[in-house]
Amino acid sequence: TGATIKTIQEVAPAMGKKLGVGELQVQPTAPTAPTAPSGMVSAGAAVVPDATTIKQALSVATPELQQAIASIPVDKVNLPTLQRHIEADTLPVPVRLTEGQATGDVVKLSNEQNRRGKDPVLAQRFNEQNGQLVENLGLIRDKAAPDVYGTKKIENSQGIIDAYKELDTKLNTGINADYQALRDAAGGQFPVDAPKLLQNVEAKLKKELLSNEAPKGQFSELQRLAKDQNMTFEDYLSLRRNLGDIARTSQDGNTRKAASYMIEELEKLPLQKQAAALKPLADKARASARARFQMLEKDPAMKAAVDDIVPADKFIDKFVINGVNKNVQTMVNNLGRDSEAHQHMAAGTVNWLRDKAGVIDEKSNFSQKQYNDALKKLDDVNNLQEIFNQEAASKLKTLGNVANYTQFQPRGTFVNNSNTLVGALAQQAKNAVGTTVEGGLNLAVPGLQLGTSVMEMRARRASEAETRKSLELGAGTKQSGKNKLSDLGK
């Protein structure tokens, strides 16, 4: 926790008794930001459990989990195991881990998987977990994007494109209003001095030794407008837009520079002599137009949406999932954090994660590896925190952790993935039902059959007990013997 705290070994003697987890008087609180409890450590770390740390951890757990481990003495709590249970417990749909999954014990993990043919309740638990992972992904999406709808990326992409076009329409409306005010004040004419503009452009290019590098097409258009002394507002905007495209995309560096210098002079908006008094109106109009052009230049996604460059089926992949972090930040700033468009970014990304996890419908198998690989791709470039709010980003990471606990097979496991052993055990269990009567008759006859039946019964009961233990809520949280974390390092 970053502070000096008394461990339970110091606290308990003063209280005259040994505390249990249920005596910590935890006040459950609804988890908001990180789902992983404050003060917790990564599973597998060597830590000594103390009352403060456990109380913090349990504050976000469901009452069911709190009750399940309430009788465990604090100094007997396996903290990493408890952490895993709490992570799984704090998802929108709590996932109940088995003992092997919660402890990470390779032997328990392997035995649980291999017994699923003989003990159908294990198979049912694993199938239930898969369904919960799928369901949680959808619920996280709904919470991250409550005001928009879209179960496919293309729907969310179109939502972002439409938002950009609406934004650009509003900007253009404002720009047109500013220039209309300038035109009205000038008697209905656009009072730019085209010959003076050409003169300024030529002087600037000459000074920078780029006279021969100016984009010929647009320079010729400026010469024509200057000769006719008749530059309209529409001419001005088209010239600015075309030069902007050249300055951004030309393969020749000198041509890009020349276009940029032409834009600088264009934006100074030299007025005709008789319109000198209209400079304040001209400055306002120029500033609003400049703001839009700069926004388009700094936000590739906006440019693509406004100009219909990238189709909707590729938009989120290009600009959100594979977007450069600073560009994703720009998208969020321009569209508005937590706006519907920002929510479309989040929902579309969850739908992409859903596709990566192999989820086609609610009955699909959730692939933790593919999901976590995709999530890591976003997190590595800091896009996760831009696309999602803090709570959603944390829940997505928690979902990845829990999916890993339920599916990952660490080195040393001996899971029979070919299902030959699982199938054999299932058949053995089926045959046992058919021989129950015969086995019962053999009990009346002393000898081998009697002994065999008794041993089989004991083995079956032991197996059933082990399965029940594996499926208990909070299984593996109580540590014992040499595995006590408080003994580590002694």
Q: Is the pLDDT of residue 126 over 50?
A: yes
Q: What is the mean pLDDT of residues 260-280?
A: 91
Q: What are 73's strand-pairing partners?
A: 20
Cα–Cα distance, 351 to 55 (Å, whole number): 36
Which tokens belong to 257? 């520079």
Q: What is the mean pLDDT of residues 205-219?
A: 96
Q: How far from the centroid of its chain's Cα atoms is residue 147's Cα?
A: 18
Q: Is the pLDDT of residue 305 over 50?
A: yes
User: Average pLDDT over the chain, rounded to whole?
Assistant: 83
Q: What is the mean pLDDT of residues 31-47?
A: 41
Q: Is the pLDDT of residue 194 over 70?
A: yes
> Is residue 429 classed as helix, strand or coil in its secondary structure?
helix
Confidence (pLDDT) at 253: 94
Q: Is the pLDDT of residue 246 over 90?
A: yes
249, 253, 257, 258: CA torsion to nearest 10: -90
- Model confidence at 190, pLDDT cuts 50, 70, 90, reads confident
Assess contact for 226 and 198: CB atoms under 8 A: yes
Q: Which one has a higher pLDDT value, 167 or 438?
A: 167
Q: Is the pLDDT of residue 444 over 60?
A: no
Q: Is the pLDDT of residue 46 over 70?
A: no
Confidence (pLDDT) at 468: 87
Q: What is the pLDDT of residues 318-334, one digit of tens each?
A: 999 999 999 999 999 99
Cα–Cα distance, 204 to 210 (Å, whole number): 9
Q: How far is CA 244 from CA 191, 247, 284, 306, in A?
A: 22, 5, 20, 14
Confidence (pLDDT) at 177: 94
Cα–Cα distance, 300 to 36 (Å, whole number): 36
Which tokens belong to 259? 């276009």
Assess contact for 138 and 245: CB atoms under 8 A: no
- Where do the H-state alpha helices sit in 229-383? 233-249, 253-267, 279-298, 300-306, 312-316, 325-335, 340-356, 368-380
Cα–Cα distance, 376 to 382 (Å, whole number): 10
Confidence (pLDDT) at 375: 97
Q: Is the pLDDT of residue 390 over 90?
A: yes
Cα–Cα distance, 108 to 114 (Å, whole number): 10
Confidence (pLDDT) at 363: 81
> Is residue 77 classed as helix, strand or coil in its secondary structure?
strand
DSSP state of 277: G
The closest alpha carbon to 367, from 332, 400, 343, belongs to 400
Q: What is the pLDDT of residues 9-18, one digit of tens each?
A: 333 333 334 5
- Look-up: residue for tokens 């402890």? 103
Q: Which one has a higher pLDDT value, 437 or 401?
A: 401
- Model confidence at 482, pLDDT cuts 50, 70, 90, reads very low
Confidence (pLDDT) at 336: 97
Confidence (pLDDT) at 422: 45
The closest alpha carbon to 406, from 107, 127, 57, belongs to 127
436, 438, 441, 444: CA torsion to nearest 10: -100
Q: Is the pLDDT of residue 3 over 50?
A: no
Confidence (pLDDT) at 161: 98
- Model confidence at 421, pLDDT cuts 50, 70, 90, reads very low
Q: What is the pLDDT of residues 335-371, one digit of tens each?
A: 999 999 999 999 999 999 999 999 998 788 999 999 9
Q: Which one has a higher pLDDT value, 20 or 433?
A: 20
Q: What are 478's strand-pairing partners?
A: 77
The closest alpha carbon to 266, from 172, 201, 207, belongs to 201
- Look-up: residue for tokens 């594979």? 322
Other C-beta atoms within 10 Å of 437: how many? 9
Which tokens belong to 339? 């706006």
Q: What is the mean pLDDT of residues 29-58?
A: 54
Other C-beta atoms within 10 Å of 288: how many? 17
Q: What is the pLDDT of residues 163-179, one digit of tens each?
A: 999 999 999 999 999 99
Cα–Cα distance, 235 to 221 (Å, whole number): 9
- 389 φψ region: left (φ > 0), alpha (ψ -120 to 50), beta (else): beta
Q: Is the pLDDT of residue 487 over 50?
A: no
Cα–Cα distance, 332 to 329 (Å, whole number): 5
- Model confidence at 199, pLDDT cuts 50, 70, 90, reads very high
Q: Is the pLDDT of residue 403 over 60?
A: yes
- Model confidence at 75, pLDDT cuts 50, 70, 90, reads confident
Q: Which one has a higher pLDDT value, 461 or 277?
A: 277
Cα–Cα distance, 430 to 340 (Å, whole number): 55
Other C-beta atoms within 10 Å of 449: how many? 15
Q: Is the pLDDT of residue 187 over 70?
A: yes
Percent of the chain with pLDDT over 90: 58
Q: Is the pLDDT of residue 435 over 50?
A: no
**DSSP per-residue letters across 109-171:** HHHHHHTTTT-HHHHHHHHHHHHHHHHHHHHHHHHH-TT---SSHHHHHHHHHHHHHHHHHHH
**Radius of gyration of the chain measured on its C-alpha atoms:** 34
Angle between helices 194-207 and 253-267 in degrees, nearest 10: 140
**DSSP per-residue letters across 364-410:** SPP-HHHHHHHHHHHHHTT-HHHHS-HHHHHHHHHHHHHHHHHH---
- Overall residue count recorded for the chain in this entry: 490
The closest alpha carbon to 312, from 149, 152, 157, 148, belongs to 157
Other C-beta atoms within 10 Å of 293: how many? 18
Q: Is the pLDDT of residue 443 over 50?
A: no
